[in-house]
Amino acid sequence: MDIFYRGFDRGSPISSGAKHLTAAAARLLVSMIRSIKYLDDAALAAFLKVVTINNVWALSLILAGWLLASLIGGPVGAAVNAILLYIGLREIYSRISEIYEPLKSWILGAYEATNDAMLDEAGKSFAVGLANGVLTVIEFIVLHRIFRAAEAALSKRFPRPEWLQATWDRAVGERTQRKPASTTTEPKPADPTKKTAAQRAEEALPVITGGLQTKGAIRAADAAFPVAPVVAAGAGVLVVAGLAVAALGSSKAR
C-alpha cells in the first residue's frame, strides 16, 4: 500500500477513489498510532479505552471518507461519497460535520502529509487535541449504532492493512515501557477543581449527542451529507458520482 497516494482516475472512479480513500485512512491510522508515544498515562488510558486494534481501521476509513467528501471535495470526494453512502454512513457523516472542529488540525495534517516526519507531526497534533475534544468526537463515532453496523461492511470492502497488528503492538508496547515524550505545548499547572482528560472523555459524549439531538442534527433535507464542496466541483462531479453508484449497483448485482 502506498499510503501517500493522492491520485484519481475519472475513467475508473470506484477503484481509484477506493485507493485514494484507503491511502488517506492509512495516514490517519499511522498518525494516531504515532501519537501514542506522546500521551501521558491518563490520556493513554482514555485513548485505549475508546480506540482498539479491532475498531481503529474502520474508524480511520470513516474519518478519511468524511474528510474527502466534506472538506476536499471534487471528483474524488464525490466518488468516495458514493462509495461510503452506499454502505450506509449518511447519518453519522452529517453529525460529524457539526462537531469536527477539534479534529481539524490533526485530520488535515495527516491528509496532507507526504513523509514520515509530517505524519509524526500529525501524531503530536492528535495527542494535543485529545484534551481539546478529539477523543470525545472519536468516542461518539465508535459508539454510534451506525458505526457498529457498518464496521463489518467496511472491513470486508476495505480489509485492514497487514502491517496494522505489528505496528499497533509495537507502539503500545514501547509506550508502556517508558515515559511519554513531551509534545510541542507546555503542560499547564494542574487545577484540582478540574477533571482529568479521561473523565472529560467519558462524560462529554452524552453532552455532545444530547446537543445534537436538540439541534435536530439529522434533518430530512438539511442534514444530508455535506455537499457544498461537491456541488462546487460542478456538473462533472455529479457525473462521477452517478458512475460510482451505477458501478456499485452493477457489482452488487453480479
pLDDT at res. 181: 62
Number of neighbours of residue 9 by Cβ within 10 angstroms: 15
Spatial separation of the C-alpha atoms in residues 147 and 84, rounded to whole Å: 12
User: 53: closest CA among 78, 32, 67?
Assistant: 32
pTM: 0.69
Q: pLDDT tens digits, residue range 230-250?
A: 333 333 433 333 433 343 344
String of b and e for 209-235 (b: at least 16 CB within 10 Å)? beebeeeebeeeeebebbbebbeebee
pLDDT at res. 33: 96
Rama region for 133: left / alpha / beta (φ>0; ψ in -120 to 50; rest) = left
- Ranges of residues in the chain with a pLDDT under 70 are 179-254
Q: Please, are residues 195 and 207 in contact by the beta-carbon 8 Å criterion?
A: no
Q: pLDDT tens digits, residue range 190-209?
A: 554 545 544 444 444 443 33
User: 92: closest CA among 34, 55, 144?
Assistant: 144
Cell of 44: 493513554
> Positive or negative CA dihedral for 248, 111, 59, 93?
negative
